[in-house]
Structure 1
Amino acid sequence: MVSHRRTSQHGPTTLAGVTVLSAALATAAAALSAPQALAEPTAPAGRDAATARVDHLYEQAERATEKFNGANARTGKLRTQVAALQDRTARAQERVNRMRGRLGALAAAQYRAGGMDPTVRLMLSERPDTFLEKAAALDRIGAGQARELRGLRAAQRSLEQQRRETVRKLAQLEAGRKEVARHKKDVQHKLATARRLLAALPKDARAAYARAARGGGHHEAVPDLRGAVPSSGRAAAAVAAVRAAVGRPYAWGGNGPAAFDCSGLTRWAYGRAGVLLPRTSQAQRGAGRQVPLSQAQPGDLVIYRADGSHVGMYVGNGQVVHAPYPGARVRYDPVGMMPISSITRP
Structure 2
Amino acid sequence: MGSHRRLAPSGFVRGAGTARAAFTAVSAAAAVLGALPAGPALAAPHGGTGAEVDRLYQEAEKATEAYDKADERAGLLHRQVRDAQDRIARRQQRVNTLRESLGSLAGAQYRSGGLDPSLALLFSDDPADYLDKATTLDRIGTHQAGELRNLRQALRELVQERAEATRALTELEKARRAVVAHKRTVEQKLARARALLNSLSPTEREAYDRASRSGRDDLLPGVSGLSGLDGGPAASARAAAAVAAARSALGRPYVWGANGPSGFDCSGLMQWAYAQAGVHLPRTSQEQRHAGRQIPLSQARPGDLVVYRSDASHVAMYVGHGRVIHAPYPGAPVRYDPVGMMPISSVTRV
- TM-score, reference length from structure 2: 0.75
Q: What are the superposed Cα offsets for residues 203-247 of structure 1, whole Å, 9 maximum, x if unpaired?
A: 2322333344472699xxxxxx97421000000000111122222
Would you say 1:152 and 2:172 are equivalent positions? no
Q: Indicate if the aligned counterparts of 2:105 and 2:144 stay in contact, CA closer than 8 A.
A: no
Q: Share of identical aligned residues, percent?
A: 59
Would you say 1:5 and 2:4 are equivalent positions? no
- Runs of 4+ in structure 1 off by over 6 angstroms are 12-15
Would you say 1:248 and 2:280 are equivalent positions? no
Aligned positions of 1:36-75 closer than 5 A: 48-75=47-74
Shift in Å, 1:110: 3.2
SS state at 1:342 partner: strand
**Partner of residue 341 from structure 2, selected from 337, 341, 345:** 337
One-letter code aligned to 2:24 = H
Q: Work out the CA distance in 2 between the residues paired with 1:330 and 1:214.
A: 13
Q: Indicate if the aligned counterparts of 2:213 and 2:341 stay in contact, CA closer than 8 A.
A: no
One-letter code aligned to 1:274 = G
Would you say 1:328 and 2:332 are equivalent positions? yes
> Any stretches of 5+ residues in structure 2 without a counterpart?
1-21, 28-38, 117-139, 218-228
Would you say 1:261 and 2:269 are equivalent positions? no
Q: Work out the CA distance in 1 between the residues paired with 2:334 and 2:211.
A: 14
One-letter code aligned to 2:25 = R
Q: Work out the CA distance in 2 between the residues paired with 1:297 and 1:343.
A: 10
* Count, aligned residues: 285
Shift in Å, 1:326: 1.1
Q: Work out the CA distance in 1 between the residues paired with 2:90 and 2:269.
A: 40
Q: Work out the CA distance in 2 between the residues paired with 1:231 and 1:6.
A: 33
> Any stretches of 5+ residues in structure 1 without a counterpart?
26-47, 118-140, 219-224
SS state at 2:257 partner: coil
**Partner of residue 232 from structure 1, selected from 214, 218, 236:** 236
Q: Which has the higher contact order (CA 8 A, sep 6+)?
A: 2
Would you say 1:288 and 2:292 are equivalent positions? yes
Moved more, 225-234 or 90-99: 225-234
Q: Indicate if the aligned counterparts of 2:230 and 2:322 stay in contact, CA closer than 8 A.
A: no
One-letter code aligned to 1:209 = Y
Aligned to 1:102: 101
Aligned to 1:193: 192
Change (3 A) 1:332 1:116: farther
Larger-Rg structure: 2
SS state at 2:235 partner: coil
- TM-score, reference length from structure 1: 0.76
